[in-house]
Structure 1
Amino acid sequence: MTDWRVPLSVLDYGVEEAEAAQRVIASKWLSMGPEVAAFEREFAQMQSARHAFAVSSATAALHLAMHAIRLGSGDEVIQPAINFVAAANMTLLAGATPVFADICSLAEPTLDPGHVERLITPRTKAIVPMHYGGNLARMSELRELCKQRGVAMIEDSCHAVGAAYHDPQGREPHGVMAGSIGDLGTFSFYANKNLACGEGGMLVTNRDDLGERIQMMRSHGMTRSSWERHHGRPGSYDIALAGFNYRLDELHAALGRVQLAKLLAGNQRRQQLLARYREGLRDAERWTMVFADQIEHSSGHLMVAVAASAEMRANAAHALREAGIQSSMHYPSILEFSGFRGRFPEPLALTHQFASRAITLPMHPGLRAEQVDEITHILRAVE
C-alpha cells in the first residue's frame, strides 16, 4: 500500500514556501548567497550560537565536525547503535573507529553515560550523543565525562531542532538549545524532519577555532565565496586547506527560512499530539511509550512505542497497515547491518531489545486527535 489513509509524516508546506522559492528564482542566483547567509543568521539566533553553517546534509555536517576536531586513524568515537548510520559511516570515512554504547532503557533510548564511561580509552576522541525522537540525551552527565577526559562532544541533534535542554539534576543551565551544548551540533533538514527542506543540514558551534576551520572546509578550503567574488570583493582566492563541496544552495535555504519561522509552533503541536498518545496508551501494560514523562521538553519529532515482544510489534504493524495507517521503525541496530555485524563485539542487550520491539507511529502537525485515538485503540487491541 502506498496511499496511506494516515501517513507517518506530512510536510507543513504552503504558499509561503512557494513564494520563497519564487523569490530565489527571480533573483537568478542559485548557489550559496544571501538566502543562505540569512538562514544561518536566523538559525544561529535561535541557537544562541556564535557560528552556524548551512550545509548540503546532516551527513555533511557530521563529516565536517569530525574533520574539524581532526579525527583520524587510531581514534575512537563513542556513539549509539540506535541511530541512522550516518554518524558511524562518517566515523569510518574519517579513518577512526566507531565504538557503540548501550541505551539507558527501553523508555529512554539515548546513550547510557555509565556505559560510555566504561568505554572511554586513551584513543577516545569524541562522543556523539543522539537526541532520539527529539528528546535530549543525559547531557549533564555526558558533558561532565567529556570535560574530565578531554573528549570532544558532537551532538547529533537531527531529531531535536528547536528543543531546549532541561537538566533534571540542575547541573546545567535550563534553556540551552539542543546542538549548542557540546563542542559542535549537527542538524538535518531532510524531508521528514520538523524543519524540512528536502535536503540540507546545519552545523553549529560556539568555538571560534572550530568555526574558522569549518568555514573553509565547507567549500574546498577557499578563502572567498562565489557570491563575494560576484559582488566585487577581490577576485582571487587562496586554498588554505583541503576541503569539501558541502555548500547549501539558495532554494533550500529559502525554504528553510520559512520552515524555521514555523518550527516552534509546529513543535508545540507535536507535544500536544504526544500527550494525546500518552493518554491513549495509559495503563496499556504491554506498551511502553518512550520519554512519556518528558513531552514538554521534546521537539516531538517521533512518536515511538515499545511492544512487549517482537511478535507483538509485528502484529501491530500488520493491524495498522490493514487500517491504512503507516508505521515504521527507528532504527534497526547499526550492529545488525552486514557492513558492521561481527566487527564490534560489545554486547548491547537493551539496544537489541529496543530495535526488535519499537514501532514508530504517525506524527506531524497536521495529525488529528481522532486519528491518534484510532491508532492507540488499535495498539491496545494487539496481542
Structure 2
Amino acid sequence: MNYKIPLFKLNFDDAETQSVVKTLESQWLSMGPQSVELEEVFAQMSGAKRGVAIANCTAALHLALMALDIKEGDEVIVPSLTFVATANCVRYVGATPVFADITSREDLTISIEDIKRKITPRTKAIIPMHFAGYAADMEAIMSIAKEHNLKVIEDACHGPLSEYQGKKLGSIGDVGCFSFFSNKNISTGEGGMLITNSDEIADKIKLLRSHGMTTMSYQRASGHATTYDVVSSGFNYRMDDLRAGIGLVQLQKLPADLEKRSQVRKWYLEALEGIEGITIPFKDRHEFSSNYVMPIVLDNADDTRRDAIRERLHSCGIQTSVHYPAAHRFSVFQEYVDGELPLTEYVTDAELTLPMYAALSKEEVSYIAESLKKAVSE
C-alpha cells in the first residue's frame, strides 16, 4: 500500500550517494579508514571514550555480554517491551533473560521496582532499553547495579544523542549499544555501534568482532603489520566502509534532524491535546531526545480495538506500527516467564506508533491527529 504519510522517511540525499561513490572509487570496501573515523566521531558526539563499529546492534549487545563475562547460569534483567534482540542476545551467551515490567503507561521504560523484585544471587547484569529515545531511570539503575555488583548494558538503539541529566544515553552504563538499521535515526541499512569508557572492554570487543585476530586486513594492507595471531574465539561482526561512509554523512545531519523531530513532537503534543481515550507516553519529559518513534497508548483498549483503529488510519493513508509485541509472550521465551507483566501486557495490546520523521509538516501532523480523533471516536 502506498501511504500518504509513511511511518518514517530516510533522511538521504546526494551526500549519501557521493559517499558510496567515493568509497567505491577508493577500492577499499570492507572495514577500514571510514569505519575508524565513524568510531571516533560517534564516540566523541556521544560523550564516550571509545567507539567500536559493529555489524548491527544485536551483535553489539552480544559482544557486550561476552566482554562483561556474562555466561551460562547467569541471569540478566531485561524489559519485555522491546525488540526481541534485547532478550535474544542473553541466550546467545547461555544466560537466562529475566523479564521486567515497564514503569507505567506514561513511561514505557523498565520498572525500577520490578528490577529490584527480580534480582537473585544469579543476577549479573541489567539491560535497560531507552524507549523512543527517552531515558530509563539510569540514576536508580546505576545505584542498584553498584549495590548488587551488576553490569549495565544500555540498549540505546532508539537514542543517539538523547540526554539524561546532562549525559548522552549509552555513555552512562558499562556499555552502550546503538542500531543503524534502515528506519533508525542514523541509517546505514544495517550496522551499529558500541560505546564504552573502558579501554579494556573496547579492546576485547574489537578482538571478538573479528575472529579474535590481533590485526585487521586494513592494518596489514597499510603496512602497520604483516602477520596476525588469533587470541580468542570470535565472530565476523564487522561493519564495512560502504556503510561507515554513509554513517559519517548521517552523523553530520543528525543534530539538525533531531532538532526538527523535537519540533514535530511539539506539534504532535499540541494536536493530540484534548483527544479523549489516549495516553501520550513521555508527555512531560523535557530532556533532549532523539524522538525515534511517536507512541500513543489507547485507554480501555485491547489488540482488537487497537488494530481496528490502525486500519482506519491506514484507510486515511497514514501508516502506523506497533512497538513492540511483548518479548515474554513469544514461544521461544516461555520457559523463562515467571508471572505476569500487567503493564507491559496492556501496553503491547493498546499501543500504536504514529509517523515520526524530521520532514513531517505541521499540516501533516494535524491531519494525523484529526484522523486519529475520528478513528478513536468510532
Q: TM-score range by the shorter chain?
A: over 0.9
- Which of these residues, 259, 264, 288, is aligned with residue 255 of structure 2? 264
2:119 counterpart of 1:117:
no
**How far apart, in 2, do the equivalents of 1:297 and 1:79 lie?**
24
2:295 counterpart of 1:304:
yes
Gaps of 5+ in 1: 167-174
* Native 8 Å contact 1:76 1:125 kept in 2: yes
- Which of these residues, 317, 335, 359, is aligned with residue 328 of structure 2? 335
* Native 8 Å contact 2:97 2:336 kept in 1: no
- Which of these residues, 190, 205, 210, is aligned with residue 196 of structure 2? 205
**How far apart, in 2, do the equivalents of 1:295 and 1:330 lie?**
22
Q: So what's the TM-score if we normalise by structure 1?
A: 0.96
Q: Render the CA deviation track for 1:174-196: whole Å, top value 9, x for unaligned.
A: x2110000000000000000011
- After superposition, residues 344-355 of structure 1 pair within 5 angstroms as 344-355=337-348
Q: So what's the TM-score if we normalise by structure 2?
A: 0.97
* Native 8 Å contact 2:127 2:154 kept in 1: yes
Note the C-alpha offset of 1:295.
Answer: 4.8
RMSD: 1.1
Partner of 1:276: 267
Q: Which runs of 4+ in 1 moved over 4 A?
A: none
Note the C-alpha offset of 1:335.
Answer: 1.6
Q: Render the CA deviation track for 1:87-112: whole Å, top value 9, x for unaligned.
A: 21110111000001110001101011
**How far apart, in 2, do the equivalents of 1:30 and 1:314 lie?**
44
- After superposition, residues 177-188 of structure 1 pair within 5 angstroms as 177-188=168-179
**How far apart, in 1, do the equivalents of 2:127 and 2:212 lie?**
25
**How far apart, in 1, do the equivalents of 2:15 and 2:339 lie?**
49
2:241 counterpart of 1:242:
no
1:253 is matched by which residue type in structure 2?
A
* Native 8 Å contact 1:275 1:295 kept in 2: no
**How far apart, in 2, do the equivalents of 1:188 and 1:293 lie?**
26
Partner of 2:61: 62
- Which of these residues, 319, 326, 329, is aligned with residue 326 of structure 1? 319
**How far apart, in 1, do the equivalents of 2:143 and 2:176 lie?**
17
* Count of residues paired in the alignment: 374
Partner of 1:19: 18
Q: Render the CA deviation track for 1:44-70: whole Å, top value 9, x for unaligned.
A: 110121110001000110010010011
Identical aligned pairs, as a percentage? Answer: 43
**Matched residue SS, 2:167:** coil
**How far apart, in 2, do the equivalents of 1:217 and 1:296 lie?**
35
- After superposition, residues 138-177 of structure 1 pair within 5 angstroms as 138-166=137-165, 175-177=166-168
1:348 is matched by which residue type in structure 2?
L
**Matched residue SS, 2:186:** coil
Note the C-alpha offset of 1:296.
Answer: 4.5
**Matched residue SS, 1:111:** coil
2:44 counterpart of 1:45:
yes
